[in-house]
Amino acid sequence: MSILGAIKRLAAVGAVVLAAVSLQPTTTASAAPAPVVGGTRAAQGEFPFMVRLSMGCGGSLYSSTVVLTAAHCVGATGNNTSITATAGVVDLQSSSAVTSRSTKIYRAPGYNGYGKDWALIKLATPINLPTLNIATTTAYNTGTFTVAGWGAAVEGGAQQRYLLKASVPYVSDATCNSASWYNGAVITTDEICAGYAAGGTDTCQGDSGGPMFRTDNSGNFIQVGIVSWGDGCAQPRSPGVYTKVSTFASAIAAAAATL
């Protein structure tokens, strides 16, 4: 990654959520739904696999006792009881929220701040809600994706009480790496870009670690990305960058089996 100003989308350090910027489209084909102001509220139960983590990140239920999130959200692999996972609600102040403390962290081996941006959190007690399957092949790595989170609704803004959602289209590596987008050759082969040329819709600070997902051939949700980083939020020709889950599917499954 060579671009200056690229940021992880972690709430504590100025990172990822649903943006609230209204921009004029550059072309009809690349236009974001206008106007977009931080996405729209998700309905209760719409995405039951969504998890909010107490350090200011998102995640998804890989299993009832394992949360999949971003490596930059957590510390080194090992025992850790400092994280609280909240699930089962779109309103974080709801009395119906289900919570569980962490017991261990597994951070992707070799993670050094760039690429390999995935991690697992082991929970002390099960969260018995639907889980989110992960993509094991590249078959679902294009198309239109859904992103959701409790992150900022504007760049640099406050975290949200209610879960927000938005749709973002796939952006090819060639386009994302072009000089007019991310200034050339910054997106690695284990990352996916998604967003609009005009900007206006994006993940933002506090969305880090949350899932980017779509439906599979059976109509079920499948996770294809993990919110990782971006150049601000919802800026033109600067789409969100997501960890490509299919690249790490085998490693994720193997690591989860050890927790």
Catalytic residue among 60, 72, 238, 246: 72
Residues with Cβ within 8 Å of 192's Cβ and at least 6 positions away in sequence, in order, are: 141, 170, 212, 224, 225, 241, 242, 243, 244
Catalytic residue among 60, 208, 228, 238: 208
pLDDT of residue 30: 38
Question: For each of the chain's 259 residues, which pLDDT tens digit applies?
Answer: 333 335 566 654 433 334 332 222 233 333 333 222 357 999 999 999 999 999 999 999 999 999 999 999 999 999 999 999 999 999 999 999 999 999 999 999 999 888 899 999 999 999 999 999 999 999 999 999 999 999 888 888 788 899 999 999 999 999 999 988 886 657 889 999 999 999 989 999 899 999 999 999 999 999 999 999 988 889 999 999 999 999 999 999 999 999 9
60 is catalytic: no
Cα–Cα distance for residue pair 120/75, rounded to 1 Å: 11
pLDDT of amino acid 231: 86
pLDDT of residue 186: 74
Placement of tokens 């927790």 in the chain: 259
Nearest to 226 by CA among 102, 81, 53: 53
For residue 106, the cross-strand partners are 120
- What backbone torsions phi and psi does residue 174 show, to the nearest 5 degrees? -60, -45
Q: Given 100, 117, 228, 246, which residue is catalytic? A: 117
The pLDDT score that the predictor gives to residue 159 is 85
Q: Is 117 a catalytic residue?
A: yes
pLDDT for 123 equals 98
Give me 184's structure tokens. 């050339």
CA nearest neighbour of 155 among 240, 86, 70? 240
Structural domains in the chain, sorted by start: 6-43+134-246 (2.40.10.10), 50-130+248-258 (2.40.10.10)
Q: In 133-220, which ranges are E strands?
A: 133-134, 144-149, 164-171, 191-194, 211-215
Identify whether 190 is a catalytic site residue.
no
Q: What angle do CA 120, 124, 126 make, to 5 degrees?
A: 85
